[in-house]
Amino acid sequence: MNYRMKLTDLTRRYIESFSGSVIFGRGEGYYRTGRVTDLEYDEDAATIIADVSGNYGNYYVEIVEEDGGIEADCDWPDFEERFIARIKKKDLGFGYNYDHLLAEIYDYQGDTDKLWEAVQGNAELLSKYEKKLAPIYPEEYLKEYERIVDRYIERRGRDNYRSAAQYAERIKKLYRTVLKEPERWETYIQNLRAVNKKLRAMQEEFSHL
């Protein structure tokens, strides 16, 4: 990226406006905790370089003054690709929620197709990214939520029926507000109640739908 100014013009306010408060805060935290190393400023070459020890790996940053502006670059894309590969292999060690990490990266990248692939089959992630993904993949979301409802009902017990009802509520919302097909919701919920008519506790938990 190119900014029309000189390195000597850079201030905290300018850097934060370029990077955004979240990225700026993360970078400042790295610096304050000694995770920005080999920081060098070459006045003759009008260049600043540094190595960064991020949360998930190392990468370098280079800032150069040229052509009347400032060029900022780093090897984050290469690192990001390597990091995603490691997440998919689940070889970062213990204590990582790999599915959530992968979803967060694709969300940050704005890649909705890969984000959708990452959240499939994960009830928590489906719920988390519903607002962003359901309008793009409404039918796919319905199938995922219907499977979740069925699984909770199959487990039996009032707590599971209550969880099933919560996802049925999401199905209702998709049919009515996203697809604008309330009749499909009525068909779905009537069939679900009919199939499980002997489950009294389930019927009670679904009574408000």
Residue, of 70 and 189, whose pLDDT is higher: 189
Q: Does the pLDDT value for residue 2 go beyond 50?
A: no
Q: Does the pLDDT value for residue 106 go beyond 60?
A: yes
Q: Where do the DSSP E strands lie in 43-118?
A: 47-53, 58-66, 69-74
Question: In Å, what is the CA distance from 193 to each residue of 39, 127, 142, 209?
Answer: 65, 23, 17, 11
Q: Which of 78-92, 97-111, 152-166 has the lowest mean pLDDT?
A: 78-92
Q: Taking all residues of the chain, what is their mean pLDDT, rounded to a whole number?
A: 86
Q: Does the pLDDT value for residue 3 go beyond 60?
A: no
Q: pTM (2 decimals)? A: 0.64
pLDDT per residue as tens digits for the range 129-139: 999 999 999 99
Q: Tokens 């009537």 belong to which residue?
A: 190
Task: Please say whether the dihedral angle defined by the alpha carbons of residues 79, 84, 85 and 86, taken in this order, is positive or negative.
Answer: positive
Which pLDDT belongs to residue 83?
66
Which pLDDT belongs to residue 56?
61
Q: Where do the DSSP E strands lie in the chain?
A: 2-3, 36-42, 47-53, 58-66, 69-74
Mean pLDDT value across residues 50-54 = 84
Count helices and strands (H / E) in the chain: 11, 5
Mean pLDDT value across residues 29-53 = 87
Residue 43: pLDDT band (50, 70, 90) is confident
Q: Could you give the strand order of the β-sheet that contains 58-66, starting from the edge strand earlier in sequence?
A: 2-3, 69-74, 58-66, 47-53, 36-42
d(CA 107, CA 114) in angstroms, rounded, equals 9
Mean pLDDT value across residues 26-52 = 86
